[in-house]
Amino acid sequence: MKGYPSIKFYKAGSGEGEVLKHSIDANGILEKMGVKDHKGEIDAVQNTEIGENNKITHGEVVMKTSRSASGKDLFHDATLSFDFAMRNSIFMTNDALTNEQSKVLRNWLDIVNKSIPVSMKAVKEDVMTLEHHFDEITVSEDNLLKHISAKTKNSWSENCSKGVMGVGYTCGLWELFHVVTVGIVQWNIMAHDRISTLDAADILKDYIENYFTCDECRKNFVTMYESCQFQRCERLSTNVSNEEEINWKQLPLWLWETHNDVNVRLLHEERKAAGLLKATFAEEQQARWPSKNDCYKCWLDGGGWKEDEVYKYLSSHYWPRDMLNIDRGSEKKKQTAVEKDEGKKRIDHDISPTFSPKSITAASLIIVLGLFFYNRRRKRYISLRISKSV
């Protein structure tokens, strides 16, 4: 079966298993399946450990993350999820990748390499190696793993794992997606070979469709994408020649809206599974990010969003602040240099003589008069000298 986490329940004597959705609670699983005396089974489920190469991330049945981390934790989680995906999600069978799968993977590696910050050095190094050996790595999982650098065992941050060992993959993957979309804006600001927002979104969708192995998550995302939810078809385009940051920012904003929608949908599903009343509007707002505490300027009084403020917040959150300062700083330095040059020109202009027909005429008159009086005075002086000598 392609897709994980995929949990099937088999009743005693039955060869037909039922795929369980969403619930990761042992009590909920067994009670749903009608098992009454299940203490022993609960202990067995709860004590399940995850091996390093296990392709199931225990506890993450849905594409979900809570509040985003910040700083090192965010990039740490995104790095771990990229590494985990390369090790566990590319080859789900023993066959080589198809031409279509290879194309999708190549596009994904290319866009990751261009869009992530240099501070995610481990990812950049792996991507460059994988791209260099691309034909080889698409043949088998062994070939792929051979070209991924060995890393010390590590776990996702508390923000993603919630204290549960081995949990955090999908949370970190969402963080990676957000970093990539914000990074594309940064790339387009600085580079000549720009990436269109629609091409980037298509590459992201293709990667999820082919390599995100949570069946339900994948289907929900692709359905949402193809139905142009959140005005994707109007907001994103293939045009890069005349576009500016105001257009490029629609990519990270679109993904942010999509992610918030996923969080709200999961809230309703979890409450329904728990037998609770439907979530209120206020509870839905609490499931969205950023909260008013995180970004008060992002919210409108009626509960909506200020798009420009949200974009500023996403940029500062998902891109290293020192790199934003460098990018903006370099532009500022250029602007300052231009302003200084223009100022110098203005000063030079102010202190330089200004010639016009009127000024030339006045100057000529002054010179003529000066010469006239000078000659008159000189002649008088010569006459006096002659009279004295006589």
Distance between alpha carbon 332 and the CA centroid of its chain, in Å? 23
Give the model confidence (pLDDT) of 61-79 as tens digits: 333 444 556 678 999 999 9
Cα angle: 272, vertex 277, 279; to 5 degrees: 85
For every residue of 163-226, DSSP letters joined together read T-TT--HHHHHHHHHHHHHHHHHHHHHH-SS---HHHHHHHHHHHHHHH---HHHHHHHHHHHH
CA 23 to chain centre: 30
The domains of the chain are located at 7-46, 71-328, 355-390
* Cα–Cα dist 156/77, whole Å: 5
Residue 303: per-residue pLDDT: 78
- Mind giving me the DSSP string for 286-299? HHSSS-TTT-GGGB
Q: CA dist 316 to 7, 178, 309, Å? A: 38, 12, 11
Closest CA to 194 of 156, 260, 248: 248
Q: How is residue 290 written in tokens? A: 């950023």
- pTM exceeding 0.85: no
Supply 342's token pair: 């223009």
Helix axes 169-190, 307-318, angle to 10 degrees: 100
Question: Can you give the pLDDT at residue 383?
Answer: 47
**How many other CB atoms sit within 10 Å of the CB of residue 368?**
10
pLDDT at 32: 62
| Other beta carbons within 10 Å of 24 | 17
**Rounded-to-integer distance, Cα 222 and Cα 150, Å:** 33
Cis upstream peptide for 252 (omega within 30°) = no
At residue 145, the 3 state secondary structure works out as: helix
Q: Name which of 59, 62, 45, 82 is nearest 166 in CA terms.
A: 59
Element (H, E) at 344: helix 321-351
Q: Can you name the residues that pair with 74 across neighbouring β-strands?
A: none
Tokens of 237: 């385009």
pLDDT of amino acid 139 = 97
**pLDDT tens over the chain, length 390 residues:** 444 556 667 777 676 777 665 444 556 666 666 665 555 554 444 443 333 333 333 333 333 444 556 678 999 999 999 999 999 999 988 999 999 999 999 999 999 999 999 999 999 999 999 999 999 999 999 999 999 988 766 799 998 998 888 889 999 999 999 999 999 999 999 988 999 999 999 999 999 999 998 888 899 999 999 999 999 999 999 988 777 888 999 999 999 999 999 999 999 999 998 899 999 988 998 899 999 899 999 999 887 899 999 999 999 999 987 776 444 444 444 444 444 555 544 444 443 334 344 443 444 455 545 555 555 555 554 444 434 343
Residues 261, 126: Cα–Cα separation, whole Å: 32
For residue 312, what pLDDT is reported?
A: 95
- Max CA distance (Å), the chain: 153
Residue 34: left (phi > 0), alpha (psi -120 to 50), or beta? left
Please calculate the CA angle 82-175-66 and round it to the nearest 5 degrees.
125
- Cβ atoms of 197 and 237 within 8 Å: the answer is yes
| pLDDT on residue 359 | 44
**Cβ-based neighbours of 173, under 8 Å, separated by 6 or more:** 63, 78, 81, 82, 85, 212
Helices vs strands, H then E, count in the chain? 18, 2
Q: Provide the pLDDT for residue 377.
A: 55
